[in-house]
Amino acid sequence: MRVLLVGGASGIGRAVATEIVDRGGEVILAGRRAEVLNDAVATLGPRASSVIVDLTDEASIAAAAAEVGSVDHVVSLAADHANGPVADLAIADIRKAFDAKVIGPILLAKHFASSVADGGSLLFFSGVAAWKPAPGLSVMATTNGAVAFLAEALAVELAPLRVNAVSPGIVDSGAWDSMGAGKDSFFAETARANPAGRVGRSADVVAAVIYALTNTFVTGTTLHVDGGGRRA
């Protein structure tokens, strides 16, 4: 299995990359920062490589498609954020959030669909904010919701190429570590409200990714891996 992972050098993407390499597969990590990519490749070993991709820059996506060649799957975990009251949002931040989650994946489909081997797939990352909106998270809710509809639409347009989405809930992926002391209370409150009684682990999401990549009867689907949090 040869998999391009946009956002594969950190967080959930890094855990997905590790699982694919452990299963004997090959990963190509894509992101904006060469040093972060190089560190991850050094840790993952000889079945890992990297390519620079910035989803705000179509030329970088086209160049990566030419460089990478044939793949079995393209997975994008990229996310950028424009959080806060809508009255305070900067248009540049809103656009970056849409580039990372919505426009970037459309451009990945544009440039990589013809490189995906028979039985392969595209997999994009949505998120629980779309189904459980909160004040200050309107852009996040909208971009994540768009990912689910994008997967449905592309699954029809690009068939028989499969296209799916994964929607994590709150996951202790490392992305929340910048909260510092507030992280523990946020996680405790999330765990209390979640039907599953805990926050997610990267491994929970990795299992859904492997399922989406390998089950050839699953397409146009969003897999919710949120501990039931979208209903909490």
Ligand X SMILES: NC(=O)c1ccc[n+]([C@@H]2O[C@H](COP(=O)([O-])OP(=O)(O)OC[C@H]3O[C@@H](n4cnc5c(N)ncnc54)[C@H](OP(=O)(O)O)[C@@H]3O)[C@@H](O)[C@H]2O)c1
- Shortest distance (Å) from residue 180 CB to ligand X: 16
Looking only at residues 142 through 171 of this chain, which bind ligand X when binding is defined by CB under 6 A? 168, 170-171
- Shortest distance (Å) from residue 58 CB to ligand X: 11
227 lines the binding site for ligand X (CB under 6 A)? no
Kindly tell me the sign of the dihedral angle through the C-alpha atoms of 60, 82, 196, 189: positive
Q: Which is nearer to ligand X, 87 or 181 (CB)?
A: 181
Q: DSSP states of 14-63 as a string?
A: HHHHHHHHHTT-EEEEEES-HHHHHHHHHHH-TTEEEEE--TT-HHHHHH
- Shortest distance (Å) from residue 68 CB to ligand X: 14
Query: Which one, of 102, 97, 211, lies nearest residue 149 by Cα?
Result: 102
- Shortest distance (Å) from residue 60 CB to ligand X: 8
How many chain residues are in contact with ligand X, going by CB under 6 A? Answer: 30
Residue 76 dihedral angles phi and psi, to the nearest 5°? -115, 120
Name the one residue in this structure whose structure tokens are 């004997």. 24
Looking only at residues 93 through 132 of this chain, which bind ligand X when binding is defined by CB under 6 A? 99-100, 125, 127-128
Amino acid at 162: R
Tell me which of 62, 89, 94, 175 binds ligand X, using CB under 6 A.
175
Q: Which is nearer to ligand X, 128 or 223 (CB)?
A: 128
- Shortest distance (Å) from residue 118 CB to ligand X: 27
- Shortest distance (Å) from residue 53 CB to ligand X: 5
Tell me which of 3, 4, 5, 10 binds ligand X, using CB under 6 A.
10
Residue 116 in tokens: 């995906």
Pair type for strands 222-225 and 162-168: parallel
| Contact string (CB under 6 A) for ligand X, positions 11-30, x = contact | xxx-----------------
Beta strands in 53-94 (DSSP E): 71-76
Stretch that binds ligand X, among 75-83, 153-161, 187-195, 211-219 (CB under 6 A): 75-83
173 lines the binding site for ligand X (CB under 6 A)? yes
Q: Which residues contact 147 (CB under 8 A, 6 or more apart)?
A: 101, 102, 105, 124, 125, 126, 127, 130, 165, 167, 222
Rounded (5°) CA angle 87-92-97 = 90
Q: Which residues bind ligand X (CB under 6 A)?
A: 6-7, 9-13, 31-33, 36, 53-56, 77-80, 99-100, 125, 127-128, 168, 170-171, 173-175
